[in-house]
């Protein structure tokens, strides 16, 4: 029976029982963390042998003869560009390889646009107003970058097919101060949704009022499937934009943070040849070149896209039981109660949970008091403000499957108690 259909007396009785269970859970002194999307240590162990691919007796030349130990090669060695291009579904001439973190590239792109402008356009810092569209729920670190530059952020609701394209077209095609949009197009953070072909094509066909409008296409989870047989596909935004006559409209980002090592991966940007040339002109002032030994290490280890895909299935084997343990508890404990809905991703790093309106903060706080740390409620929205106080991001990657089950038990218990308290306010 749905909680909202229960009488006040029934709810009070149920709450008494749940409060008792909660007290018992609290007394266990648990310390579980499902807050950030970090691979577990055992997952990192999968890639340890990558460190053996290069040692003091290795040939340190890239395929074009570059000595990778030395200065130079601003945009990456050819074989690394090819590998990252294949991962993103584009071609090497669109790619620049950076250091270890794609977030750093995203920051750089906003920063560059802000101080110097894109392809000769007015730097954003000289404009009265700069706005970004933010599909929500989304990734807190994206929102932190635009907030840091004083850019106004506008919420765009997400659906299983991607963000609300009607709304996006209205803003982008009519408002010159809208300069960008944050997208996680595949296995989105936190819902795990993948943009449909229609969504991608509508993105490519935008007719921006601002000449320097850019789609920030963060393809962080492009190859991060959970299953061998159930995998999402996505169109290549770069060629779609070319076909639609908008070649310069997109910056795509990806990294091997959750393929090899988050602390020591390889990150890349992909964009039109004009954008790549524009970026390289400024990049040459920033650096003489990124870590080419790391690039070599990655290419020698993975060899090609097939090698990367096979490696990702080893990650999936570790991630899947954690997702399944969490989803099992959610399904068994909450189905039919009318107090929450959740996503069931086929890839990525997160499960998104929507509680009854006005309950997310209280649920997160109650979990914390029982030793279960979740991402702060509100973090999935610009300025940390979820207008409905409803969304909670669950990150199952770090704990063991057993810990995830335990943490999920506490989570559903807190969801039930807080929801009853909310419903009782109206009875
Ligand atoms: N983008 C998204 C959507 C992410 O979820 C994350 C990591 N949580 C990142 C980027 C960070 O990527 P990187 O390690 O390459 O900076």
pLDDT in tens, 119-146: 999 999 999 999 999 999 999 999 999 9
Q: In ligand 1, which atom is closest to the CA atom of 102?
A: 15
CATH 3.40.640.10 segments of the chain:
61-303
Q: Verify cis geometry, omega within 30 degrees of 0, for the bond prior to 190.
A: yes
Q: Report angle CA 251, 187, 216 to the nearest 5 degrees.
A: 15
Calculate the CA 74 to chain-centre distance.
27
CB count in 10 Å sphere of residue 407: 25
The pLDDT assigned to 83 comes to: 98
Fold of 3-43+310-425: 3.90.1150
* Closest listed residue to residue 22, CA positions, set 339, 370, 423: 370
Calculate the CA 48 to chain-centre distance.
24
The average pLDDT across 232-239 equals 98
Alpha carbon of 363 to ligand 1 centroid (Å): 26
pLDDT one-digit tens code per residue, 245-274: 999 999 999 999 999 999 999 999 999 999
CB count in 10 Å sphere of residue 166: 10
The pLDDT assigned to 272 comes to: 98
Alpha carbon of 368 to ligand 1 centroid (Å): 25
CB count in 10 Å sphere of residue 29: 8
Mean pLDDT of all residues in the chain?
97
Q: Name all residues whose Cβ lies below 6 A of ligand 1.
A: 37, 101-103, 139, 184, 189, 218, 220, 255, 257, 262, 267
Alpha carbon of 183 to ligand 1 centroid (Å): 12
The average pLDDT across 29-37 equals 90
Q: In ligand 1, which atom is closest to the CA atom of 254?
A: 15
The pLDDT assigned to 266 comes to: 98
Judge whether residue 239 has pLDDT over 90.
Answer: yes
SS (H, E, C) the chain: CCHHHCCHHHHHHHHHHHHHHHHHHHHCCCCEEECCCCCCHHHHHCCHHHHHCCCCCCCCECCCCCECCCCCCCCCCHHHHHHHHHHHCCCHHHEEECCCCHHHHHHHHHHHHHHCCCCCCCCHHHCCCCEEEEEECCCHHHHHHHHHCCCEEEEEEEECCEECHHHHHHHHHHCCCEEEEEECCCCCCCCCCCCCHHHHHHHHCCCCCCCCCEEEEECCCCCCECCCCCCCCCCCHHHHHHHCCCHHHEEEEEECCCCCCCCCCCEEEECCHHHHHHHHHHHHHHCCCCCHHHHHHHHHHHCCHHHHHHHHHHHHHHHHHHHHHHHHHHHHHHCCCCCEEECCCCECCCEEEEECCCCHHHHHHHHHHCCEEECCCCCCCHHHCCCCCCEEEECCCCCCHHHHHHHHHHHHHHHHHHHHHHHHHCC
CB count in 10 Å sphere of residue 409: 16
ipTM over 0.90: yes
Q: Does domain 61-303 sit in CATH 3.40.50.410?
A: no
The answer for 215, left when phi > 0, alpha when psi is -120 to 50, beta otherwise, is beta
Strand partners, 178: 131
d(CA 107, CA 113): 10
pLDDT one-digit tens code per residue, 170-200: 999 999 999 999 999 999 999 999 999 999 9
d(CA 44, CA 12): 47
Q: Which of 189, 253, 394 to mutate to test the pocket of ligand 1 (most atoms within 8 A of CB)?
A: 189
d(CA 4, CA 13): 14
d(CA 69, CA 61): 8
pLDDT one-digit tens code per residue, 44-90: 999 999 999 999 999 999 999 999 999 999 999 999 999 999 999 99
Q: What's the farthest any 2 CA atoms get from each other in the chain?
A: 78
The pLDDT assigned to 427 comes to: 85
Calculate the CA 413 to chain-centre distance.
27
Alpha carbon of 107 to ligand 1 centroid (Å): 12
CATH 3.90.1150.10 segments of the chain:
3-43+310-425
């Amino acid at each position: 029976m749905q909680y909202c259909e229960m009488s006040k007396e029934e709810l009070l009785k149920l709450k008494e029982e749940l409060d008792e269970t909660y007290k018992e859970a609290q007394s266990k002194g648990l310390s579980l963390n499902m807050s950030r999307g970090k691979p577990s240590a055992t997952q990192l162990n999968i890639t340890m042998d990558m460190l053996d691919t290069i040692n003091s007796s290795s040939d340190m030349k890239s395929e074009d003869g570059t000595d990778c130990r030395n200065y130079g090669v601003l945009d990456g060695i050819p074989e690394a560009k090819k590998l990252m291009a294949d991962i993103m579904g584009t071609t090497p001439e669109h790619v620049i390889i950076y250091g270890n973190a794609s977030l750093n590239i995203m920051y750089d792109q906003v920063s560059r646009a802000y101080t110097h402008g894109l392809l000769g356009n007015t730097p954003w810092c000289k404009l009265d107003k700069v706005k970004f569209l933010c599909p929500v729920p989304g990734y807190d670190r994206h929102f932190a970058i635009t907030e840091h530059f004083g850019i106004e952020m506008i919420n765009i609701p997400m659906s299983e097919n991607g963000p609300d394209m009607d709304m996006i077209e209205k803003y982008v095609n009519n408002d010159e101060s809208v300069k960008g949009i944050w997208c996680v197009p595949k296995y989105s953070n936190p819902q795990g949704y993948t943009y449909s072909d229609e969504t991608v094509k509508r993105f490519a066909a935008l007719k921006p009022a601002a000449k320097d409008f850019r789609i920030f296409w963060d393809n962080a989870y492009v190859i991060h499937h959970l299953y061998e047989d159930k995998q999402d596909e996505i169109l290549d935004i770069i060629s779609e934009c070319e076909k639609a006559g908008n070649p310069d409209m997109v910056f795509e980002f990806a990294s091997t943070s959750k393929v090899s090592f988050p602390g020591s991966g390889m990150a890349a940007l992909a964009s039109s040849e004009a954008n790549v040339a524009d970026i390289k002109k400024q990049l040459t002032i920033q650096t003489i070149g990124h870590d080419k030994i790391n690039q070599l290490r990655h290419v020698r280890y993975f060899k090609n896209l097939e090698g990367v895909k096979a490696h990702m299935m080893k990650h999936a084997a570790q991630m899947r039981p954690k997702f399944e343990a969490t989803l099992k508890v959610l399904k068994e404990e909450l189905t039919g109660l009318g107090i929450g809905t959740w996503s069931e991703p086929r890839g990525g790093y997160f499960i998104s949970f929507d509680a009854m309106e006005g309950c997310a903060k209280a649920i997160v706080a109650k979990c914390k008091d029982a030793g279960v740390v979740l991402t702060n409620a509100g973090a999935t929205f610009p300025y940390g403000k979820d207008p409905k106080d409803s969304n909670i991001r669950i990150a199952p990657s770090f704990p063991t499957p057993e810990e995830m089950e335990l943490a999920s038990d506490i989570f559903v218990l807190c969801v039930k108690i807080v929801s009853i308290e909310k419903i009782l306010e109206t009875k």
